[in-house]
């Protein structure tokens, strides 16, 4: 009796695992398609903004809006140097080696 209950639980868990794997794969495929469609829509919008001669600044405004605002304009890590000061020292030593 106990063995049959355990066997039934294993079969149910195996089935649930298969369903979970299948639905996860379907979700990831749908998400990939949505992201691809979103990228295509963004590209189409940028192309139409670039073609618009009445508002030439709209293209660059859209690019600025879409770009990552958290990204810095400077490198935070170069080689083993981390942080602005260490990167500056690496850059300065490189320039001094090239100049002298």
- 71-100 pLDDT, tens digit per residue, is 656 667 777 778 777 877 877 777 777 665
Distance CA 79, CA 90 (A): 9
Predicted TM-score of the model (pTM): 0.47
Cα dist from 21 to 12, 15, 91, 98, whole Å: 14, 10, 50, 57
pLDDT band at 5 (very low <50, low <70, confident <90, very high): low
Range(s) of the domain holding residue 77: 71-100
Same domain, 14 and 45: yes
Same domain, 51 and 79: no
Same domain, 44 and 7: yes
DSSP H stretches of helix in the chain: 2-51, 57-66, 84-99
The residue count of the chain comes to 100
Same domain, 52 and 100: no
Domain count of the fold of the chain? 2
Q: Which two tokens stand for residue 78?
A: 């170069």
């Amino acid at each position: 009796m106990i063995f049959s209950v355990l066997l039934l639980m294993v079969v149910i868990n195996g089935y649930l695992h298969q369903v979970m794997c299948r639905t996860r794969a379907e979700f990831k495929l749908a998400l990939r398609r949505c992201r691809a469609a979103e990228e295509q829509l963004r590209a189409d919008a940028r192309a139409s903004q670039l073609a618009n001669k009445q508002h030439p600044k709209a293209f660059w405004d859209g690019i600025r809006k879409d770009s990552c605002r958290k990204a810095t304009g400077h490198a935070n890590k170069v080689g083993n140097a981390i942080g602005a000061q260490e990167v500056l020292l690496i850059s300065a030593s490189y320039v001094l080696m090239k100049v002298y």
